[in-house]
Structure 1
Amino acid sequence: MTSPRRSLWALALVSLATVGFETTLTRYFAVAKWSEYGYWVISIVMAGFALSGVVMALARDAFARRGPALLAALPAVLVATAAVGFHYTTTNPFNPLQLQNPATWQPQVWNIAGYYSALLPFFFAAGLFVGLSFILNDRQVPRVYAFDLVGAGAGALLVLALMYVLHPFDLVPALLPALAVAAVFAPRARLAAVAAALVALAGAEGLLLADNQAAFNDFKAIYAPLHTPGARVVAERRSPRGDYMLLDDFTERVDTDVSNNAGLLNLPGPPQTYGLYRDGNRVAALPKPGPLDLGYAAAGLDALPYALIPHARVLVAGASGGFRAMLPLALGAATVDALEPEPTLRDAVAHGLGPAPPLAHDRRLRLLAASPLDVSGIGGPYDVIDLSADYLDAAEDNAAAYTVEAIAADLRALRPGGLLSLPVSIRDFPVYALRVLATARAALLAVGTTDPAAHVIVYRSAWNVRLLLSPTRFDGARIAAARAWCDARSFDVSYYPGIDPAALRANIYNDLPAVSFSRGEVTAEGADDAIADEARAVLAGRPTPSGADFSLAPETLDRPFYYAALRLDRLGTILRRVEILPQPEIGALVNLAVLAQAAILALIVLLVPLLAPSRVRAAPGVVARAVVYFPALGLGFLFIEITAIERASLYLGDRANAFALVLTGMLIFSGLGSLLAGRARGPWRMVLPAAGVVVLWCAAAALGATPALLASLDWPFVVRAGLVLLAIAPVSVALGTFFPLGLAQAGPTGFLPWAWGLNGAFSVVATPLANLLAREAGFDRVLIAAALLYVLAAVAFPLSRREHSWLQTASHAAD
Structure 2
Amino acid sequence: MNNSSTLDRRTCWGMFLLCMATLMYELVLTRIFSVLMWYHFASMAISLALFGLGAAALTIALAPRWFPLERGSLIAARWSALFAVGVTLFFGLFVLFRLYPQFGFTVLSFFHQPHYQPFQQGPGATSVPAGMLPALAALYLVTAFPFYCSGLAVTLLLTRHLRDINRLYCWDLLGAGAGCMAIIAVLNLVGGITAILVIAALGLAAAALFLPADAPRGRRAGLWLVLAVLTAAGIGNYVADYAEIRFARGRYEPGMIWSGWNSFSRVAVYPSQGQEQERAWGLSRSYRGPIPEQLGMVIDDSGYTTLFRRDDERFREFFRANVISLAYALRPGANALAIGPGGGKDVLVALAADAARVTAVELNSLIAEAVNERFAAFSGELYRDPRVRLVVDEGRSFVRRSSETFDVIQASAVFGRMAPAAGAFTLSENNLYTVEAFRDYWDRLSEDGILSISRFIFERETLRLVSLGLELLKEKGVEDPAAHLVVIRERGLANFMLKRSPFTTEELGFLREEARAREYDLVFMPDARDGDSQYHRLIASQGSDAFYREFPFDIRPVSDDRPFFYYMLKPEDFLRLLTFPEQSPFEDRAILTLRNLLVVVTGLVLVCLLLPLALLRGRELRTPGTAPRLLYFACLGLGFMLIEIGLLRRFTVFLGPPIYALAVVLFALLVFAGIGSLLAARCGPGAERRMLLRLLPALILLSLVYVAVLPPVLTSWLTLPLLLRCVLAVVLLAPLGLILGMPLPLGMRAFHPTPAAVPWSWGINSATSVFGAIFAAVLSMNFGFTLTLLAGVGVYLVGLAAVWWYRPG
Answer yes or no: same fold by TM over 0.5. yes
Which residue among 290, 307, 326 is the counterpart of 2:329? 307
Contact 1:39 1:590 in 2 (8 A): no
Distance 2:585 2:375 in 1: 38
Q: Residue 81 and residue 475 in structure 1: after superposition, are their counterparts in 2 closer, same or farther (change >3 A)?
A: closer
Contact 1:662 1:724 in 2 (8 A): yes
Query: What is the DSSP-based 3-state SS (H/G/I as helix, E as strand, rest coil) of the residue aligned with 1:337?
Result: strand
Contact 1:400 1:650 in 2 (8 A): yes
CA shift at 1:742, angstroms?
0.7
Gaps of 5+ in 2: 98-103, 113-121, 421-427
Distance 2:7 2:418 in 1: 51
CA shift at 1:762, angstroms?
0.5
Contact 2:429 2:566 in 1 (8 A): no
Aligned partner of 2:441 in structure 1 is 410
Higher relative contact order (CA 8 A, sep 6+): 2
Aligned partner of 1:494 in structure 2 is 523
CA shift at 1:633, angstroms?
1.0
Q: Residue 184 and residue 500 in structure 1: after superposition, are their counterparts in 2 closer, same or farther (change >3 A)?
A: closer
Contact 1:391 1:398 in 2 (8 A): no
Contact 2:336 2:357 in 1 (8 A): yes
TM-score w.r.t. length of structure 2 = 0.85
1:241-284, CA deviations, whole angstroms, 9 ceiling, x for partnerless residues? 21222334564759541111123xxxx35422333322244543
Distance 1:725 1:586 in 2: 37
Distance 2:172 2:711 in 1: 32
* Equivalent residue letter for 1:298: R
Q: Residue 212 and residue 598 in structure 1: after superposition, are their counterparts in 2 closer, same or farther (change >3 A)?
A: farther
Aligned partner of 1:508 in structure 2 is none
Q: Residue 801 and residue 713 in structure 1: after superposition, are their counterparts in 2 closer, same or farther (change >3 A)?
A: same
CA shift at 1:374, angstroms?
5.0
1:686-715, CA deviations, whole angstroms, 9 ceiling, x for partnerless residues? 434543443344333333333333333332
Distance 2:616 2:679 in 1: 35
1:765-791, CA deviations, whole angstroms, 9 ceiling, x for partnerless residues? 011111111110111111111122223
Pairwise mapping of residues 41-56 of structure 1 onto structure 2 (< 5 A)?
41-56=45-60
Distance 1:662 1:380 in 2: 30
CA shift at 1:649, angstroms?
2.9
- The answer as to 2:736 corresponding to 1:731 is yes
Q: Residue 64 and residue 799 in structure 1: after superposition, are their counterparts in 2 closer, same or farther (change >3 A)?
A: farther
- The answer as to 2:766 corresponding to 1:760 is yes
- The answer as to 2:451 corresponding to 1:420 is yes
Q: Residue 460 and residue 269 in structure 1: after superposition, are their counterparts in 2 closer, same or farther (change >3 A)?
A: farther
Query: What is the DSSP-based 3-state SS (H/G/I as helix, E as strand, rest coil) of the residue aligned with 1:713?
Result: coil
CA shift at 1:754, angstroms?
0.6
- The answer as to 2:662 corresponding to 1:659 is yes
CA RMSD, 1 decimal? 3.6
Contact 1:19 1:152 in 2 (8 A): yes
Aligned partner of 2:539 in structure 1 is 536
Contact 1:598 1:764 in 2 (8 A): no
Query: What is the DSSP-based 3-state SS (H/G/I as helix, E as strand, rest coil) of the residue aligned with 1:297?
Result: helix
* Equivalent residue letter for 1:2: S
Distance 1:787 1:184 in 2: 41
- The answer as to 2:486 corresponding to 1:457 is yes
- The answer as to 2:306 corresponding to 1:285 is yes
1:317-359, CA deviations, whole angstroms, 9 ceiling, x for partnerless residues? 2334344224334323344333333333345556665654422
CA shift at 1:470, angstroms?
2.3
1:150-183, CA deviations, whole angstroms, 9 ceiling, x for partnerless residues? 1222233332221112232222222222222333
Aligned partner of 1:519 in structure 2 is none
Aligned partner of 1:514 in structure 2 is none
1:161-215, CA deviations, whole angstroms, 9 ceiling, x for partnerless residues? 2111223222222222222233332263512543554566578789998999967
Distance 2:233 2:583 in 1: 42
Distance 1:592 1:747 in 2: 33
Q: Bigger shift: 127-136 or 10-19?
A: 10-19
- The answer as to 2:472 corresponding to 1:469 is no
Q: Residue 481 and residue 287 in structure 1: after superposition, are their counterparts in 2 closer, same or farther (change >3 A)?
A: closer
Pairwise mapping of residues 193-208 of structure 1 onto structure 2 (< 5 A)?
193-195=219-221, 197-198=223-224
Q: Residue 652 and residue 67 in structure 1: after superposition, are their counterparts in 2 closer, same or farther (change >3 A)?
A: same
Query: What is the DSSP-based 3-state SS (H/G/I as helix, E as strand, rest coil) of the residue aligned with 1:410?
Result: helix
Distance 2:172 2:222 in 1: 24
Which residue among 689, 692, 696 is the counterpart of 1:687? 692
* Equivalent residue letter for 2:12: L
- The answer as to 2:63 corresponding to 1:35 is no
Aligned partner of 1:261 in structure 2 is 286
Query: What is the DSSP-based 3-state SS (H/G/I as helix, E as strand, rest coil) of the residue aligned with 1:790?
Result: helix
Distance 2:150 2:548 in 1: 51
Contact 2:553 2:570 in 1 (8 A): yes
Which residue among 68, 78, 81 is the counterpart of 1:76? 81
* Equivalent residue letter for 2:354: G
1:425-472, CA deviations, whole angstroms, 9 ceiling, x for partnerless residues? 124x2x222122112211211222244233212211210112221233
CA shift at 1:56, angstroms?
1.9
Distance 2:35 2:545 in 1: 42
Contact 2:654 2:725 in 1 (8 A): yes
Aligned partner of 1:245 in structure 2 is 268
TM-score w.r.t. length of structure 1 = 0.84
Q: Residue 322 and residue 16 in structure 1: after superposition, are their counterparts in 2 closer, same or farther (change >3 A)?
A: same
Aligned partner of 2:29 in structure 1 is 25
Pairwise mapping of residues 153-302 of structure 1 onto structure 2 (< 5 A)?
153-186=177-210, 188-189=212-213, 190-191=215-216, 193-195=219-221, 197-198=223-224, 220-221=248-249, 223=251, 226-227=253-254, 231-233=255-257, 235-249=258-272, 251=274, 253=277, 255-263=280-288, 268-288=289-309, 291=312, 293-302=315-324
* Equivalent residue letter for 2:150: A
* Equivalent residue letter for 1:241: F
Which residue among 692, 702, 708 is the counterpart of 2:707? 702
Q: Residue 665 and residue 200 in structure 1: after superposition, are their counterparts in 2 closer, same or farther (change >3 A)?
A: same
- The answer as to 2:802 corresponding to 1:782 is no
1:404-439, CA deviations, whole angstroms, 9 ceiling, x for partnerless residues? 111122223333333221211124x2x222122112
* Equivalent residue letter for 1:400: N
Pairwise mapping of residues 390-401 of structure 1 onto structure 2 (< 5 A)?
390=414, 392=416, 399-401=430-432
Which residue among 704, 715, 721 is the counterpart of 1:716? 721
Distance 1:80 1:362 in 2: 50
CA shift at 1:57, angstroms?
1.9
Aligned partner of 1:628 in structure 2 is 631
Gaps of 5+ in 1: 505-529, 804-815
* Equivalent residue letter for 1:242: S
* Equivalent residue letter for 2:321: A
Aligned partner of 2:20 in structure 1 is 16
Distance 1:297 1:102 in 2: 34
Task: Count residues with an aligned counterpart.
Answer: 762
Distance 1:124 1:391 in 2: 35
Aligned partner of 1:811 in structure 2 is none
Aligned partner of 2:569 in structure 1 is 566
* Equivalent residue letter for 1:645: L
* Equivalent residue letter for 1:409: D
Query: What is the DSSP-based 3-state SS (H/G/I as helix, E as strand, rest coil) of the residue aligned with 2:753?
Result: helix
Which residue among 107, 111, 132 is the counterpart of 1:96? 111
- The answer as to 2:696 corresponding to 1:670 is no
Aligned partner of 1:118 in structure 2 is 142
Distance 1:17 1:142 in 2: 21
Query: What is the DSSP-based 3-state SS (H/G/I as helix, E as strand, rest coil) of the residue aligned with 1:592?
Result: helix
Q: Bigger shift: 551-560 or 390-399?
A: 390-399
Which residue among 747, 757, 761 is the counterpart of 1:751? 757
Q: Residue 398 and residue 63 in structure 1: after superposition, are their counterparts in 2 closer, same or farther (change >3 A)?
A: closer
Query: What is the DSSP-based 3-state SS (H/G/I as helix, E as strand, rest coil) of the residue aligned with 1:294?
Result: helix
1:579-633, CA deviations, whole angstroms, 9 ceiling, x for partnerless residues? 985565567435533553366258x437726633554455x12x22122211111
Distance 2:788 2:549 in 1: 28
Contact 2:638 2:772 in 1 (8 A): yes
Distance 1:398 1:270 in 2: 35
1:645-672, CA deviations, whole angstroms, 9 ceiling, x for partnerless residues? 3233322221223212222222211111
CA shift at 1:760, angstroms?
0.3
